[in-house]
A and B are shown apart, each in its own frame.
Chain A
Amino acid sequence: MIPEAAKSKLIELLGNRGYLDRPEDLVLYEYDGSVDKHRPDMVVFPRSTEDVVAIVKIANEYNLPFVGRGAGTGLSGGAIPRAGGLMISFSRMNRILEIDLENERAVVEPGVVNLDISLAVQAQKYFYAPDPSSQRACTIGGNVAENAGGPHTLAYGVTTNHVMGLEAVLPDGSVITTGGKGPDCPGYDLTGLLTGSEGTMALVTKIIVRLMRQPEVVKTILAIYDSAEDAGATVAEITAQGITPVAVEMLDGVMLGMVEEATQAGYPMDAAAVLLIELEGLREAVEEQVEQIRAACTACRAREFRVAKSAEERELLWKGRKNAFGAVGRVSPFYYVQDGVVPRTQIAPTLRYIQEVSERYGLTISNIFHAGDGNMHPIILFDARKPGDLEKAQRAGEDILRFCVSVGGSITGEHGVGMEKMELMSDLFSDDSLEMIARLKRLFDPDCRLNPGKMLPTGRGCMEIRQKPLVPGSFVY
């Protein structure tokens, strides 16, 4: 609960339209793209860094926990207020402050939608590279918090490779700036430390991002397979040949059916798997790579190899890919997306294991993922109205992630640990390593008010929230 005195101070600061506290409004802020839920006691909408500083100071004065939130598209519960309290929504700090093409930089506020940066510079033939599937909605602030990825990060790198500097409000209300427009700024790389800290160490209020020149040529290829393992083997073959596509996405047969029914993008309905491969660069390089990829796909028994003939055809294929989660929603009201990563040579065995898990739990599991960098997204379909089904889905997800770890991989490639995979962190890291993460968190947030109860296993974080995540939340929709 927010004390009345704190509430009045916040209202005085932000005005009558600068907050939400009615239950029917708060319910919209209790979830993100994952399955966990918890309701904030109040949502506040700062318009400036000064507002954020003032909010944080009020939160400290009244000992309130607080959590930053962008668009709420996250997939690990990063923006869910586990301990209640204040939610600081950055949706009104959504200005692109500066577009500086001759320096290949933009300076943006955290509430700017990812895709809007690329749209703002596309006429000048530039783009912002990290492209999470939710890029039409998700915000840069959230991307920085989670170190977001996307299909094209295979060649261009993830968010941390494109963030040059930050302005951030620390949990004590002080403001720091890190990095700058140039690289290699003196001192420790605080920008790199804060990027991917899942909103647990600072609230980012300004971001300097790198812009890139659009490539001359883009070719999009669809390779169609009668066996998912052959598709997986192709990825290893492409790597072995030294070919460097900018994206290699895989969709399995279950997913193809759902995507095609939703989008009519031209995906085959009867295939076991497809690879969606994109090549970018100068014409001479791309033309050669198309032939190299064709050879690799053929060697791995692809039954068909199509190169998109037009921009429209290309965009339709990508629309199908990026709207895949929406397509799943049409078929199954509940689904659980995982985010394991494996070394590229382990993709085919991992697919086999996922099939076993599917059979063991009697749950349909569909695969759509960034195959090029081994980042798997098995989507587990379940029915939350059936008692025990959610728990089964969560156990299946954990089995898959443990397998990823056992073959040298990780429990999350781009979605974050959040409150969803906290307990699995012990599978990946030693106690000493987890303790070091906790100490760094406490260094920034000694009172543990910023986004508590995330990233570290229960008992290892700085504040104990002993209850399990509240699933499936207050309502079953």
Chain B
Amino acid sequence: MCEMVMRSLTPSTPEELAEGLAAAAAAGRRIRLGGAFSKSSMGGPISDADVCVSTQNLNRLRQYEPRDLTISVEAGMPWRELQNLLAENKQMLPLDPPFASQATVGGVVAANTSGPRRRQYGGVRDFVIGMTFATLEGKLIQTGGMVVKNVAGLDMGKLMIGSYGTLAAIATVNFKVIPAPARSLSFCRRFETVDEVFNARDEILRSVLQPSAIDILNPAAAERIGQEGWLLLLRAGGNAALLDRYARELSGFETIEGEAETALWQSIQEFTPAFLDDYPLGTVVRVSSSLQQMKLLAGTLSVPLVARAGTGVGYAHFTKPEEAGEWASRSKGQEWKCVIDFAPESHKEYLMLWPDPGPELATMQRIKQMFDPNNLLNKGRLHGRI
């Protein structure tokens, strides 16, 4: 939440949000923008600010017609509340972001957080169908709409997803939603070596099975959830016959259901927050790589690694910020890319959070310049570079 020392704004309508931003920007005030600020340790350093703007009171349901499979909410709605609304109608938004119990919808979108089931369902960019955002000029900009297929105008929402609030303030978000499967079943198998676990993953990828999640944990990560060895974790949803089929085809796997299943995925979804609680100097590197490159990277890591092994995102959890910085810097000039997603505030100034931005950074900086010419909004939050 906003600290007491700062002037704080908690607008309760999109218009108030836009007016507040415009007034602050016009006065040349530096702005810290967030929802519940549950992910303050994520992204770039928190710069000094004169005004703190929180969307926490901008938290209403705007529109939900379950038969249209779409929902529109204000940015400050707690993520959990959105999940509950959908669950009442047997629908879901299977993003599984970390910090889910404190996060707001806008924060999940602005930080582009997601979880295990994105193998099947995709990430934030695949669910957002429309958005309203407030600019520093005090304008409310609409993009997309309330239909699942729409190419009218530029897809400006894509710019906001993962922008850490550096461009504008997300005011409302429209999502497409998914009918929740009737039942869920999960599978776990332990392997001795990195080769074995990734070979097993490759077999799943080549098969006709369509698990919603394909995660690999290295032994250090497995230990943190009370397991050992290299773990391959799968999740499937559907009717009883379908899940029986999965159980047959995955005969070497241990099946996990009911409360144990919920607990397992909860521990995976909140793996990073739990790690950061345990290690005040905890530093987490996020890797974007090809599926095969992920295997090579996994082989070089002895710290806890949670890999979305069917997607190509991995999270390496270091206890020493310097080691994380050194490892992340290896991405320079490589096809795989990484950023330091979480680091202690005290170390963010000197760590290269985004080691190798590439020439497209110039284009991104021009976009930032257009939205925020005086660099007032969440300065440096995009991994220290913007």
Contact = CB atoms under 8 A, between A and B. Distances in A.
A294 interface: no
A236 B66 CA distance: 10
Interface in B171-199: 178-180
Contacts of B245: 282-284
A420 to B, nearest CB: 12
Interface string A146-186: 11010001000110110000000010000011101111111
A299 to B, nearest CB: 14
A125 to B, nearest CB: 8
Contact of B291 (A103, A216, A283, A415): A103
A184 B146 contact: no
B208 A181 contact: no
24 contacts: A160-B155, A161-B122, A170-B363, A176-B360, A177-B358, A182-B288, A185-B337, A186-B339, A187-B162, A188-B367, A193-B155, A193-B159, A196-B151, A242-B179, A282-B245, A284-B239, A288-B241, A341-B150, A374-B148, A410-B152, A413-B147, A416-B151, A429-B153, A434-B153
A440 interface: yes
Interface stretch (B29-37, B67-75, B264-272): B67-75
B242 A153 contact: no
Contact of A157 (B122, B159, B354, B370): B122
A439 B148 contact: no
A198 to B, nearest CB: 8
A288 B238 CA distance: 10
Contacts of A281: 210
Contacts of B150: 341, 410, 412-413
Contacts of A183: 123, 288, 311-313
A192 B158 contact: yes
Contacts of B287: 182
Given A187-B361, A282-B242, A285-B242, A192 B125 contact: yes
A373 interface: yes
A33 to B, nearest CB: 15
B149 A373 contact: yes
Contacts, number: 248
Interface in B118-156: 122-123, 125-126, 135, 139-143, 145-156
B67 A345 contact: yes
Contacts of B238: 282, 284-285
Given A187-B162, A244-B178, A341-B147, 19 more contacts: A100-B290, A102-B292, A157-B126, A182-B336, A182-B337, A183-B313, A187-B386, A188-B167, A190-B363, A193-B159, A242-B179, A282-B208, A284-B238, A284-B241, A341-B149, A344-B68, A373-B147, A412-B152, A437-B156
A342 interface: yes
A411 interface: yes
B364 A190 contact: yes
Given A236-B67, A428-B152, A184 B147 contact: no
Interface string B222-258: 0000000000000000110110110000000000000
Given A103-B290, A190-B363, A192-B158, A181 B242 contact: no
Interface string A422-459: 00010011101110110111010000000000010000
B152 A161 contact: no
Given A193-B155, A193-B158, A432-B139, A244 B122 contact: no
Contacts of A430: 140-142
B100 interface: no
A417 interface: yes
B289 interface: yes
Contacts of A455: 153-154
A244 B139 CA distance: 38
Interface of A: 100, 102-105, 146-147, 149, 153, 157-158, 160-161, 170, 176-178, 180-193, 195-197, 213-216, 236, 239-240, 242-244, 281-285, 287-288, 341-345, 370, 373-375, 408-417, 421, 425, 428-430, 432-434, 436-437, 439-441, 443, 455
Contacts of B179: 239, 242-244
Contacts of B145: 408-410, 428
Closest 5 CB pairs of A and B: A192-B158, A242-B179, A182-B288, A182-B312, A216-B208
A105 B289 CA distance: 12
Contacts of A103: 290-293, 312
Question: Which of A105, A236, A243, A284 has the largest number of chain B CB atoms within 10 A?
Answer: A284
Given A103-B291, A178-B360, A344-B67, A432 B140 contact: yes
A104 B205 contact: yes
B244 A284 contact: yes
B153 A195 contact: no
Contacts of A153: 149
Interface of B: 65-70, 90-91, 112, 122-123, 125-126, 135, 139-143, 145-156, 158-159, 161-163, 167, 178-180, 202, 205-210, 238-239, 241-242, 244-245, 286-293, 311-313, 335-339, 354, 357-361, 363-364, 366-367, 370, 382-383, 385-386
Contacts of A436: 135, 139, 141, 156
Contact of B367 (A374, A409, A425, A443): A443
Contacts of A411: 152
B358 A184 contact: no
B141 A433 contact: yes
Contacts of B339: 186
A169 to B, nearest CB: 13
Nearest to A440: B154
B159 to A, nearest CB: 5
A461 B289 CA distance: 38
A428 B154 CA distance: 13
Contact of B370 (A181, A213, A432, A439): A439
Nearest to A192: B158
B298 to A, nearest CB: 14
A282 B208 CA distance: 7
A344 B210 contact: no
A183 B307 CA distance: 13
A433 B142 contact: yes
Contact of B149 (A186, A216, A370, A429): A370
B45 to A, nearest CB: 16
Contact of A189 (B65, B159, B293): B159
B147 to A, nearest CB: 4
Given A195-B155, A213-B206, A187 B149 contact: no
A350 to B, nearest CB: 12
